[in-house]
Structure 1
Amino acid sequence: MFGNLVRYLDSIVARDPAPRSRWEVLLYPGVWALFWHRIAHGLFKARLFFLARVVNHISRFLTAIDIHPGATIGKNFFIDHGFTVIGETAEIGDNVTIYQCVTLGGSNPTNGVGGKRHPTLEDNVIVGSGAQIIGPVTIGKRARVGASAVVTENVPEGATMIGVKARSTLVSAETWAKQFMPYGTPCKEPCEPAPNQRVDELDEQIALLRQQVEALIAAQSEREEAQSDGPACKGV
């Protein structure tokens, strides 16, 4: 048990540059939220729903993180900071990282049956701060959800999603984002080639328009010179 705890703390140190030791990590609200959730989830599986909720409310009061007792969470789950909400039918794989103010929310079942209502995050997923993942969608392995993105559809393995509604950065998953990406949001090339490509197209259009304007000015100048030379010739 002690060895598992050490490995868990080391996995957080590997993803967060802030702590100077494992002792600091033991003070993280995300670590304590996961500790309380393990207890609440055990009670939930034993169908002791009220006791599970009591533990859940204690955890939420102490950590500002609300994890429903029914949520299934794998190994080395790390919530950096807090203010996160995870719904009942959410499923989280191994080595998943979530930053502050993230919601793994549910969709409204139109048939009146609860069922699977919350997201599934597969192994090594990173979710940036403020992101909202809604409904029974699946976020593929190694996928990144950028800060404040809103995801309502499945995300392919290794993809990076940004924006509202979230869209892929169009970067090949085979050549990018293979390693851990802090905050789930790339900030350097080749983050999103599409906007840069659009800027290049606009630059080309501006250059073409400038050439056309210069040609029109030159033609107008020639006409004005021709008109001014005409009467002078007649006078001679």
Structure 2
Amino acid sequence: MEESGMFKNLKAELDSIMDRDPAARTQLEVFLLYSGFRAVRSYRWANWFYRHDMKLIARYISQRARHKTGVEIHPAAKIGKGLFIDHGMGVVIGETAEIGDYCTLYQGVTLGGTGKDQGKRHPTLGNNVMVGSGAKILGPFKVGDNARVAAGAVVLSEVPPGATAVGVPARIVRINGEKSYELDQINVSDPVEQEMADLQNVCTALGMQVEMLMDRLESYQKDRANKKEP
């Protein structure tokens, strides 16, 4: 790993964590104490050895980091700058996974395979993607730029840019097509809840129409009764 590139990536990761984590007080604190940062730093070294055909050393570094941090990143994965792994414990990033710039992964996230694919087996995340805690993204498809995956979601197919994936299996919710930097795992739209709300609105409207028809029928019957009176 070139020294200038190493320190450039190191600074980018420290800056990205300071920008996005309200609990981070100083860069020194992040450098010394953040398990996610430590895991990514170890990955950078492991990836360098892997690319230089020293795979045993690469795997040793990655497995040692896994025991120290609870984060397992295969040294062959491709990860852009500014990755923020918050809390970190239980995160798994597979061999052919690719992650763009300034992505955020919370604890328990898996970027894995389905066991059925050959070659490219793991997902590709675009830039500025947020993946909530416990989410699983499984398979060789892309999660587009600025997309969000809600906590606990299981994503099995492509997520368009600027969309949100929610549920098990995940369904897609479009969010204005605009870039979003909010690290919000809770306030995401639930498509099932939205459909139920829409159905309830339709039922309410139909109920009002039925009441209007009943009122008209009652009025009509009264008119007929009045006309029959001598």
Residue 22 of structure 1 pairs with residue 23 of structure 2? no
AA in 1 matched with 2:107: Q
After TM superposition, the structure 1 = structure 2 runs for residues 114-125 of structure 1, keeping only pairs within 5 Å, are: 114-125=118-129
Task: Please list the CA deviations of residues 58-102 of structure 1 after superposition, one character each: whole Å capped at 9, or x if unmatched.
Answer: 100100000011111010011001110000000111001111100
AA in 1 matched with 2:199: R
1:137 to 1:4, Cα distance in 2 relative to 1, 3 A: closer
Match for residue 133 of structure 1 among 137, 154, 176: 137
Residues 43 and 52 of structure 1 are in contact (CA less than 8 Å); yes or no, is this contact kept in structure 2?
A: yes
Q: Distance in 2 between matches of 1:7 and 1:52?
A: 23
1:43 to 1:94, Cα distance in 2 relative to 1, 3 A: same
1:70 to 1:140, Cα distance in 2 relative to 1, 3 A: same
Counterpart in 2 of 1:226? none
Counterpart in 2 of 1:33? 39
1:19 to 1:4, Cα distance in 2 relative to 1, 3 A: same
AA in 1 matched with 2:23: A
Match for residue 57 of structure 1 among 63, 87, 100: 63
Counterpart in 1 of 2:180? 179
Q: Distance in 1 between matches of 2:17 and 2:108?
A: 18
Q: Distance in 2 between matches of 1:104 and 1:187?
A: 21
Q: Which moved more, 1:46-55 or 1:137-146?
A: 46-55
Task: Compute the TM-score of the two structures, normalised by the length of structure 1.
Answer: 0.79
Residues 147 and 183 of structure 1 are in contact (CA less than 8 Å); yes or no, is this contact kept in structure 2?
A: no
Task: Please list the CA deviations of residues 28-62 of structure 1 after superposition, one character each: whole Å capped at 9, or x if unmatched.
Answer: 10100001111111111122221111111110010
Deviation of residue 197 (structure 1)?
A: 2.7
AA in 1 matched with 2:167: G
Q: Which runs of 5+ in 2 are unaligned?
A: 223-230
Residues 164 and 188 of structure 2 are in contact (CA less than 8 Å); yes or no, is this contact kept in structure 1?
A: no
Deviation of residue 188 (structure 1)?
A: 7.6
Q: Distance in 2 between matches of 1:90 and 1:188?
A: 27
Q: Distance in 2 between matches of 1:3 and 1:135?
A: 31
Structure with max Cα Rg: 1
Residues 145 and 185 of structure 1 are in contact (CA less than 8 Å); yes or no, is this contact kept in structure 2?
A: no
What is the DSSP-based 3-state SS (H/G/I as helix, E as strand, rest coil) of the residue aligned with 1:169?
strand
Match for residue 48 of structure 2 among 30, 42, 46: 42
Q: Which runs of 5+ in 1 are unaligned?
A: 223-236
AA in 2 matched with 1:19: A
1:33 to 1:92, Cα distance in 2 relative to 1, 3 A: same
Match for residue 108 of structure 2 among 98, 101, 104: 101
